Structure 1
Amino acid sequence: MNSRIPVGILFSTQGPYATVGRSMRDGAMLALEEVNRGKRFPFELEPIECEPAGDNTAYSTHVRSLLRHEGVKHVIGCYTSSSRKEVIPIFEKYDGLLWYPSHYEGFETNNNVIYTGAVQNQHVLPLMDHVLTHITRDVYFVGSNYVWAWENGRIIRELTKAHGGHMIAERYLQVGDLDVARIIEEVHEKRPAFIMNMLIGESSYAFYRAFAKARGENAALQKTVVGSCTLCEPELAQIGPQACAGHLASSVYFSTIDTPVNEQFVASYRQRYGHDALPSADAEASYNTVHLLALALAGADSVDIDRVKKALHGASFQAPQGRVHVDPESNHSYLTVRLGISREDATFEVISEASAPVRPDPYLVWAEACGSGPAQPETPIAQNNIGLRIVR
């Protein structure tokens, strides 16, 4: 194996979800610097950065170039499911491996993808368990018009129905659409106790700002809770202090996790990107992915994707969120589930967390949600009763 291994870095730091893309890129680059600076590995990872700017066609063009012309076998990248699905056939054709560090809607496994972000039983099910238990059985749903929101909308629709509730409304916007006036008008009219926000990027920020204004104008919305499975620290800063506080978020990582490993990660991130910089779940997932890739390459002593996957399945990484490892049955990751409430300072108060990493369940095979049967004993939080412990 060569002493320098090229690795594709494929994140959109421009375009409609640039805030998240920059965070993912920064997390990956921090980890690459750590891997290359240390003496642990007999190789250096050489990043080859590409900028798709949120354009799915550009993702395909870059991946084809990386795999065909740059000698790359491993690419870390993509945020949206539409971009991931766009490039998977290219990875299959050229025998490359996509390391995908984003939460997503599940219902997929692929031999050419390692999924290091959260899947449904690690984000939407914990959030909905909290909502159905403590807030309401009726949900107003808004999301970006692609598969991420479609699939999560279907899950939430089935969950609310199974618990005797219903979807008050289900509305979609194109990615990047900032015109939320019709949705806000309907929120004024319906006055829901809970809004599930599955918008991404600039559309989501526009919604939060408009909702804050609506809440100020309508006393009936004062107790309305907005929930999200994507909201993160850099996005809170983009939304602004007048609109970013008090929202419910489900995530496997918050920058306020109180552990020595996370404290060191936050310190390193700020040293690299500025004193006010705060890592997010997206940055942490990309950071973890690079370290897992390095461990797998070292264990395989090869860039061959089958050998790397075999080595990966025997490896684990003590990440800022807790121990992370990949399930050999699905190529998805064991991650630690948490819920948080956003604050004006663009951080989250962690209100509950799992006691151990949660086995990924991308097809909801083990989940008890919607009466689909009991969870397997080794799946500590694949059940509808999520099992989060309250953080005091």
Structure 2
Amino acid sequence: METSNVPASRERIPVGLLYSGTGLYGAVGQEMLRGAMLGLEEVNAWANTDFVLDPVIADPGGRLRGYYEACEVMLRQHRVIHLVGCYTSAARRQVLPLVEAADALLWHPARYEGFESSESVIYVGAAPNQHVVPLVCYMLEHIASSVYCIGSHYIWTWETARVLREMLGATGGHMAAERTLPLGETSVEHVVEEIVRLQPGAVFNTLVGQSSYAFFRAYHAARLRDPHASLPPILSCSLCEPELQIIGAEAGAGHIACSPWFQSLDTPENRGFLNRYRERFGPGSSPSVDAQASYTCMLLLGRAIKAAGSADVAAVRRALYRDSFRAPQGPICVDPDNNHTYAIPRIARSNLVGQFDLLWESPTLVRPDPYLVWLDQALPEQSEASTPPRRHLRIVS
């Protein structure tokens, strides 16, 4: 990817772009890099600025050691102090000690499991109260209170499953089973067979990349083998449009996801973003929520540097805390208490054309709560004889 031509007189600020365009989740990584590049190019095209963002791109190939090595090169050799990227929490945690030691700043676009807050990270992706909690609440009210949890064996699944267990325990729900697979594992038929046997009311999926795609396909194949089998919809906090293309139209349809952004969001900002994205990368390109967040990371960074008059990390943070604007996902600003962004959670169902139909959205911006300190207030203890409380969600018809 090449950046637009810019005057040589403008200060060049190196920005590290750390995305795996190859490996287990390469399709998502490619779209995230595209989103970041689109945002970077738009910042560089702004008038009346005395700087240009100079991309330093690395592809760790989904290898954790690769993230560490690439980050080290960016910080030491390229003198990068702002990095944008990382899709998995495992990758973020690989680079975080390096970023903190260098007094640099990582702009993290991906949704994640929470329970972290670093002065050296701006968390632009959704916090758990902005995607995990709304999805579980929706499940309990509209689908079932018995759930089968399947995920990849790493921190995203561990922490998400813990939150799910706590919410089920507080509302009288039931975890039918909890299973994990190694990252990249695609032998999933035994999991599907167990789901068929146990007949849970819902399936909660935190598998990553190729493992998740194989699971959706095997799940659909089981439905075709026995149309009368009790196979409920799969719920996910990570399923996105480019993954629906990989999974296949029929296997990917009818499942439920929670996210701050879907391509089908009908706002002027989102329509403009999609038009520019497809004009830049081709009409067949399909951005994910994390690609949109990568784009937003670049706008947040560019606006903060412009307002601060410097790329200095402390100055950028101060400027960032005063800023707000309308991103493709909606109004966005950073909470100075925890470096996470406000967001509007949305829940949608996948359809046969590889898009999502909106079912519910929060009527207001939701403040990030990465440690879920307010969750106990939302889920009071229930007696054994009590029924799960109704949650007042606004359903979009």
Q: TM-score, normalised to structure 2's length?
A: 0.93
Do the aligned partners of 2:31 and 2:287 also contact (CA within 8 Å) in 1? Answer: yes
Alignment correspondent of 1:135: 143
Alignment correspondent of 2:130: 122
Deviates most, 246-255 or 165-174: 165-174
Question: 1 CA distance for matches of 2:168 and 2:110?
Answer: 26
Question: 2 CA distance for matches of 1:5 and 1:386?
Answer: 47
3-state SS of the aligned residue for 2:250? coil
Question: 1 CA distance for matches of 2:360 and 2:144?
Answer: 19
Do the aligned partners of 1:106 and 1:120 also contact (CA within 8 Å) in 2? Answer: yes
Residue 263 of structure 2 is aligned to residue 255 of structure 1: yes
Q: Which amino acid counterpart does residue 84 of structure 2 have in structure 1?
A: I
- Name which of 177, 185, 188 aligns with 1:180: 188
Alignment correspondent of 1:381: none
Alpha-carbon shift at residue 387 of structure 1 (Å): 5.3
- Name which of 86, 89, 98 aligns with 1:78: 86
Do the aligned partners of 2:100 and 2:120 also contact (CA within 8 Å) in 1? Answer: yes
Alpha-carbon shift at residue 166 of structure 1 (Å): 1.4
Question: 2 CA distance for matches of 1:234 and 1:369?
Answer: 36
Question: 1 CA distance for matches of 2:376 and 2:326?
Answer: 29
Q: Where do residues 194-343 of structure 1 align in structure 2 (5 Å cutoff)?
A: 194-221=202-229, 224-343=232-351
Instruction: Sort the Cα spacing of 1:80 and 1:385 in 2 relative to 1 into closer, same or farther, 3 A.
Output: farther
Alpha-carbon shift at residue 263 of structure 1 (Å): 0.7
Q: Which amino acid counterpart does residue 78 of structure 1 have in structure 2?
A: C
Do the aligned partners of 2:141 and 2:391 also contact (CA within 8 Å) in 1? Answer: no
Question: 1 CA distance for matches of 2:25 and 2:277?
Answer: 21
- Name which of 3, 11, 33 aligns with 2:19: 11
Deviates most, 50-59 or 157-166: 157-166
Q: Which amino acid counterpart does residue 21 of structure 2 have in structure 1?
A: T
Identity of aligned residues (%): 45
Q: Which runs of 5+ in 1 are unaligned?
A: 374-383
Alpha-carbon shift at residue 54 of structure 1 (Å): 0.5
Alignment correspondent of 1:104: 112
Instruction: Sort the Cα spacing of 1:340 and 1:76 in 2 relative to 1 into closer, same or farther, 3 A.
Output: same
3-state SS of the aligned residue for 2:326? strand
Deviations 1:270-329 (A, max 9, x none): 111111222221111001000000011112212221111111000113101111110000
What is the aligned-residue RMSD (CA, Å)?
A: 1.7
Alignment correspondent of 2:384: none
Deviations 1:70-118 (A, max 9, x none): 0110000101111111111101111111110000000000111110000
Alpha-carbon shift at residue 370 of structure 1 (Å): 7.0
Q: Which amino acid counterpart does residue 342 of structure 1 have in structure 2?
A: S
Residue 395 of structure 2 is aligned to residue 390 of structure 1: yes
Deviates most, 281-290 or 1-10: 1-10
Alignment correspondent of 1:92: 100
Question: 2 CA distance for matches of 1:72 and 1:243?
Answer: 42
Q: Which runs of 5+ in 2 are unaligned?
A: 1-8, 382-388
Question: 2 CA distance for matches of 1:168 and 1:7?
Answer: 46
Alpha-carbon shift at residue 372 of structure 1 (Å): 6.5
Question: 1 CA distance for matches of 2:327 and 2:190?
Answer: 42
Alpha-carbon shift at residue 37 of structure 1 (Å): 1.7
Alignment correspondent of 1:20: 28
Question: 2 CA distance for matches of 1:211 and 1:24?
Answer: 27
Do the aligned partners of 1:125 and 1:386 also contact (CA within 8 Å) in 2? Answer: no
Question: 2 CA distance for matches of 1:323 and 1:307?
Answer: 23
Question: 2 CA distance for matches of 1:144 and 1:343?
Answer: 25
Residue 51 of structure 2 is aligned to residue 43 of structure 1: yes
**For this pair of structures, how many residues does the alignment match?**
382
Question: 2 CA distance for matches of 1:387 and 1:318?
Answer: 26
Deviates most, 30-39 or 332-341: 30-39
Question: 2 CA distance for matches of 1:335 and 1:78?
Answer: 20
Alignment correspondent of 2:5: none
3-state SS of the aligned residue for 1:312? helix
Question: 2 CA distance for matches of 1:252 and 1:168?
Answer: 28
Do the aligned partners of 1:291 and 1:317 also contact (CA within 8 Å) in 2? Answer: no
Q: Which amino acid counterpart does residue 172 of structure 2 have in structure 1?
A: G
Question: 1 CA distance for matches of 2:48 and 2:370?
Answer: 33
3-state SS of the aligned residue for 1:349? strand
